[in-house]
Structure 1
Amino acid sequence: MKRTIQARIYKGDTQYVAECTDLPVVTQGKTLDEVTANLREAIALHLEGEDFSDFDLALEPVILASYELGVLSHAET
């Protein structure tokens, strides 16, 4: 059983977007704090009333979100 739900957060055109890699959950928010709160809520709603073992998840999984910083440009010399 997995103890971690993985997600990716990145900056969209106008808002931050969070996508789970383990579950079909996507949400957005104007700030990192907002998208993080929305991600927690969306995952909770998706799993509400479900048997966690159907998703190969432990009873109290943690959410591990990685933040995409974007393209790294080379420093000019």
Structure 2
Amino acid sequence: MKSTELEETNSIIQIDSEIMGGTPCFRGTRVPIQNLFDFLEADEPLSEFLDAFPTVSRKQAVSVIRIAEKSIIEMAV
């Protein structure tokens, strides 16, 4: 992962033992990243996730999906 990608990831995702026991969360919230993937796996639209977790911005959610996409592609290469 390039330093700019790492900075982007760190600006969106926080891992802090004081917040949700260190579970990766959307920065500035107590919403675990896993919740986004749980919604998507349940075939729920992104808009439903955003309605359920109003502290997460659309930009944050889309950025997490893009980070996951890049990680999968890098692993496959």
TM-score w.r.t. length of structure 2: 0.34
TM-score, scaled relative to structure 1: 0.34
- Which one has the bigger helix percentage? 2
For the pair shown, which has the larger CA radius of gyration, 1 or 2? 1
Higher share of residues assigned strand: 1
